[in-house]
Amino acid sequence: MPGRGVRPQHRDAGAGLVTGANPAGWPGVNPAWSRRAEVDGHRWHYLDNAADLDGATPHGVLLCVHGNPTWSYLWRSVLAAGAAAGWRVIAVDQLEMGFSEHAGATHRLADRVRQLGALTDALGLSGPSWDGVRVVTVGHDWGGVVSLGWAVDHPRELAAVVLTNTGVHQSATKPVPYLLRLARHHRVHGPATVSTPAFLDVTLSLARPRLDPDVRAAYKAPYATAGDRRGIGAFVEDIPADPAHPSHSELERIAEGVRGIEVPTLIMWGPRDPVFYERYLRDLMARLPHADVHRFEGAGHLLIEDADVAGTLVSWLGRRLGAQARTDGGATAARRGEPVLAGTGRTPAAPPAAYRPLYAALEEQATSPATAVVALSARGRSELSWADLAARVQHLALGLADAGVRPGHRVSLLIPPGIDLTTALFASLRLGAIVVLADAGLGIKGLTRAVRGAGPDHIIGIEKAMVAARVLGWPGRKFVVGPTMQEVGYTPPRTAHTRRRTFGIYGSTRELLGRGAVLADAGAVLPAAPDPDSDAAILFTSGSTGPAKGVVYTHRRLAAMRDAVAATYGLSPERSFVAGFAPFALLGTALGATSATPDMDVTAPATLTARALADAADAIDAYAVFCSPSALANVVRTGGDLTAGQREALGRVRLVLSAGAPISSARLAQVGEVMPAAAAHTPYGMTEVLPLTDVSLEEVQAAEADAAARRVAGAGGGSCVGSPVAGTQLRIVPLDEVGAATGAPTEEPGVTGEVLVTAPHLKDRYDRLWATQDHSATWPGWHRTGDVGHLDAAGRLWIEGRLSHVIVTADGVVTPVQVENDVLGVRGVSRAAAVGVGPVGTQQLVVVVETDPAVHAGARRPPALAPAGLARAVRAAVRRPVAAVLRVPQVPTDVRHNSKVERGRLALWAAKVLAGEKAGTP
C-alpha cells in the first residue's frame, strides 16, 4: 500500500508522462508490478513486486536505482528473485528517465537524491510514516551514486547497501572514462545522446551475451523520440567531471559520507567495463573496507544482464541479514553450522601444531654457509648460501619498508622461480605484506585478469613484466627485478631514464637491496612479525576450469601446508629436492632444505628434459624430485639423451612426486626408466588445499587390480589418489539424477559425488569472490572441491572427474575419468577425453582421442571421425554405448600443467562436429 502523500496514477495519465508503456510487452516483467505515483508535483513510474508476496510480511525492501540510459526494467530479475525469497523490491524510474515524467527539467545529483527521499517518504519507506521496515539500497551506474546519497541521508532506515559497477568519487588527477568524455564533448553530446539513440545503443551493446531483440526493445521503449531522450543527455551532462561542475560538491559529500556506512555491504562487479574502471572499485573498497566483493570475470558494464546478480544478491541477503528464501533445500541450516559435519572420520584430525612461520628456516640458518638454493638456466648456474639468502631477504625487506611497502599491502611477484623470486617472497612475507602469485602459465589474458582482480599496491617483476604492466594497465607501483638499464650501463643514462619513466618503474630490487644493507648497518630493524592469522598470500588457480581464482592463505595456513608436505613425505633440511613444478619451487626454503630449479620454461612444464632434470639433481645431490605429469612424460621421452653421469645422478633420487594433474599408473611406472631407485608418489590436492591425499605407485597398482577384479561394465572406477594425509578429513556429497551434488555428506564406500574436505592447511577464502566462497563453504570449515569421486572400503579416494564434466545420459550418470583410463589402454592412444553432447538427461557419450604418430599414420591429420578399427577398439575398451569416436591431432590441455584435458572446450567442439557445423580444430 502506498504511504501518505502518494497519489496513485493510471498508467496513461498525467501530462509529461511517457506514453506507450505496456508492461505486458516487457519480457520478464509481471504487468502487476508497474505502478505510478505523484509526489511533490512529480509523476513517477516504478516497479513493485508487493503483489507477488501474497500478503506475507516481507523481510524488508530492496530499493533499486538504475543509471543512464537504462530504467527500472534493469532490475526485473531482482524483482522476481526477491519475491521468491520474501523480499519486497521497488525499482524506481528516475525523473526524466524510463516511464516517469519527461518534463524537460534539469535534475542535478543533489536534486535526484532529494527526490528519491521524497518518494520513499511517500511510500512509507522513510520519513514520518516509516514503520521500521528495513531498506536495502541497490544501485547501478550513476544510480549507484544516487542510492548511496539516499543511504548516507537515511541511516535509521538503512539495513544494507548493494552496489554494481558504479563510482562515488572522481579523482582530480584522472579524467573521467573515455566513453563518458566522448559523450560529453560538445560536438558529440547532443547528436549521440538526444538526437539519435547512439548512446543508448552503445550501452545496450555492452551486454555479454548479446541481448535478445525483445529485451533490447523493452530497454528502448521509453526512449523512442528525441524528446524522450532529453533526460539521457541531461544525465550525461550532470557527470561532475571537475570541481567546477554544479554537482561536484554533492558527489564529494556523498563520497565522504559513504565512509561512515557500517551496515552490511555487497559490491558486485563486472571487470570488462569500459565506463567504470577498476580504480572505481578500488576506491569503493577503500571507503567501505568491510564490504563483501564478488567480481564476475567476463562480465561488463551491464552486469545484471551478464551474470547472476539476482541469485547472488538473494543468497547474500540470507547470509548477512539472516533472511532466508522460503525454500533452500536445507543449505541454510548447513551454513549456520546445523548440522556440523563431525565425527572422527577415516583420518583423525591432527592436534594443532605449534605455529612456526614460513620464513622461520631462514632465521634459524641465518649464519649457515651451506647451500640454500640453486638455479640453473641457459645463462649458467647461480646459488646462495643460507647466510647470504637470509641477508638478502632482510635487506630487501628493509628496502621495501623504506620505499613505502607496509604490512597488509598487496605485492604481486612476477618473477620466474629462482633466487630472485625466493628473496622477494620471503622478504614480503616477513614484512607482513600479502604476496600475490599468478604464474605466467596463465597466459597474458589470464595473468591480466588475475593481477587486476587482486589489485596489488606494488609489483615486483622482471623487465618484461614491467612492460606488460604498463601496456595492460596493471595496478601497483613497479619495482624491476635486478639492475635497471642505467645501472648496468647498457644504454646512455638519458635513454635509461626515459625508459624507466616510460614504463612507470619506481625502482629496482638492486636499489632496494642496497638501501636495505645501509639501513641494516645503521641498526634498523624490521617491523614486528605479522600475526599468524593475518593474510599472507593470494595464490591463483590454474584457470583450467574457468577464470583463475585468487585463493587467500593466512600465515598459519601456509605454515600448515609446509608441515603437511614435510610430514607426508619425510622431507627435512637434510633432504634436498628439485622443483620441476613451479608451485613447489619455494618449498625448499620454507622447509630449510636445499632446493634447485632446473633449466626449463616454467610456463610450459613439458619443456623439462631428462638432461636438465639430471643436472639439477646432480647440483644438490637431490633426494626428491617434484614434477607435473607432462614434465615427467618429457623426461621419460628424452631419457635416451642422458650421459652416464646424468643417469647416475638421477639414479640417486629416492622420491619422485607427480603433482598438479592426474597421471595414470602406467605413465608413472615409466618414470622408473630414468629414476630407478625413486619411490613414485602422487599427491592429490589443489591450490585451495595441498596435499589432501597421497598414494604410491605400488598402492595404485594394487588398488586398480582389486577394482578391476570387482568392476562390472559401466560401474564407477576412476583414478585412485590414496588415503587422506594426517589432519585431513574427506566426505562425499552424493550426486542426484541430473548430476548435481545435492545429497547429505557421507563416508559410505562406493558413493559417487563431489569431494568435500577439511584440513588445517585449507585456504582461508577466495579473494573478492564472495559467491564462489559462499558456495564452496556450504558446510562451515569444509571446502567443496568441484571434483567428483568416491571412497572405497579401505578409505582410499578415487577421482572420477570434475563436477562440471559429469555426463548425464538416459541410462544415468557417467563420470569421465574411468572412460578415459580405459581408452588410454588402447594401443596408440596418447590422450583421451570423454565428453557429453546434447541436453542433460539424454546426453550422448563422445570420446575424443589423440594418437601416437608412430602407431597411427593419420595421427596428425585434421580432426575427423576416428578410423573404423580405432573406433571399434575404443568402444570395446569403454564397455558402454559410445555415440562417436573423434580423432584430433592434439587434445587441448591447460596452460599451467600441460596435463589437464579441457573437456568443456572439447564438448562444445564435438557438438558442432556432430551437428555438421564447421568446427575447426579444438
Map out the domains of the chain with their CATH numbers: 28-321 (3.40.50.1820), 379-568 (3.40.50.980), 571-687 (3.40.50.980), 693-763+781-803 (2.30.38.10), 808-914 (3.30.300.30)
What local confidence, expressed as pLDDT, does residue 297 receive?
93
Helix (H, G, I), strand (E, B) or coil at 101: strand
Which parts of the chain sit beneath pLDDT 50? Answer: 1-15, 324-339, 343-346, 348, 484-495, 712-715
Residue pair 465/459 in contact (Cβ under 8 Å)? The answer is yes
- Planar angle of CA 756, 760, 761, nearest 5 degrees: 85
How many helical (H) and strand (E) elements, i.e. helices and strands, does the chain have?
Answer: 32, 36
578: β partners: 596, 625
The span from the CA of 382 to the CA of 596, in Å, is: 10
Grid coordinates representing 865?
571421425
Query: Given its phi and psi angles, is residue 40 left (phi above 0), alpha (psi -120 to 50 degrees) or beta?
Result: left
The span from the CA of 84 to the CA of 162, in Å, is: 19
Phi, psi angle pair for 655, to nearest 5°: -145, 130
The span from the CA of 473 to the CA of 437, in Å, is: 18
Helix (H, G, I), strand (E, B) or coil at 648: helix
The span from the CA of 26 to the CA of 41, in Å, is: 27
The alpha carbon dihedral of 742, 746, 752, 756 has a sign of positive
Q: Which helix (H) or strand (E) holds 821?
A: helix 816-824
The span from the CA of 690 to the CA of 538, in Å, is: 15
β-sheet with 550-554: strand ranges across: 505-508, 477-480, 458-461, 410-414, 434-437, 535-540, 550-554, 765-766
Angstrom CA distances, 291 to 160, 180, 284, 286, 552, stand at 10, 27, 9, 9, 16
DSSP string, 691-738: EEEEEEHHHHHHHHHHHHHH--TT----EEEEEEPTT-EEEEEEB-TT
Start-to-end C-alpha separation, the chain: 57
What's the distance, CA 273 to chain centroid? 17
- Planar angle of CA 264, 121, 311, nearest 5 degrees: 35
DSSP string, 372-415: EEEEEETTEEEEEEHHHHHHHHHHHHHHHHHTT--TT-EEEEE-
Q: What's the pLDDT tens digit per position in 542-589?
A: 876 778 999 999 999 999 999 999 999 999 999 999 998 777 778 889
Other beta carbons within 10 Å of 332: 15
In eight-state DSSP terms, residue 351 is P
Residue pair 624/657 in contact (Cβ under 8 Å)? The answer is yes
Beta strands in 270-315 (DSSP E): 292-295
User: Which one, of 525, 495, 496, lies nearest residue 508 by Cα?
Assistant: 496
- Planar angle of CA 738, 740, 745, nearest 5 degrees: 130
Residue pair 389/589 in contact (Cβ under 8 Å)? The answer is yes
- Planar angle of CA 23, 28, 34, nearest 5 degrees: 30
What is the model's pTM? Answer: 0.91
| Rg of the chain, C-alpha, whole Å | 30
The span from the CA of 428 to the CA of 435, in Å, is: 7
The alpha carbon dihedral of 458, 462, 467, 473 has a sign of negative
Beta-carbon-side half-sphere exposure of residue 420 (alpha carbons within 13 Å): 19
Grid coordinates representing 760?
588445517
Grid coordinates representing 24?
505486458
The span from the CA of 881 to the CA of 838, in Å, is: 15
Q: What's the pLDDT tens digit per position in 95-113?
A: 999 999 999 999 999 999 9
Helix (H, G, I), strand (E, B) or coil at 317: helix
Other beta carbons within 10 Å of 187: 8
Grid coordinates representing 120?
520513499
Phi, psi angle pair for 609, to nearest 5°: -100, 165
The span from the CA of 428 to the CA of 118, in Å, is: 52
What local confidence, expressed as pLDDT, does residue 811 receive?
92
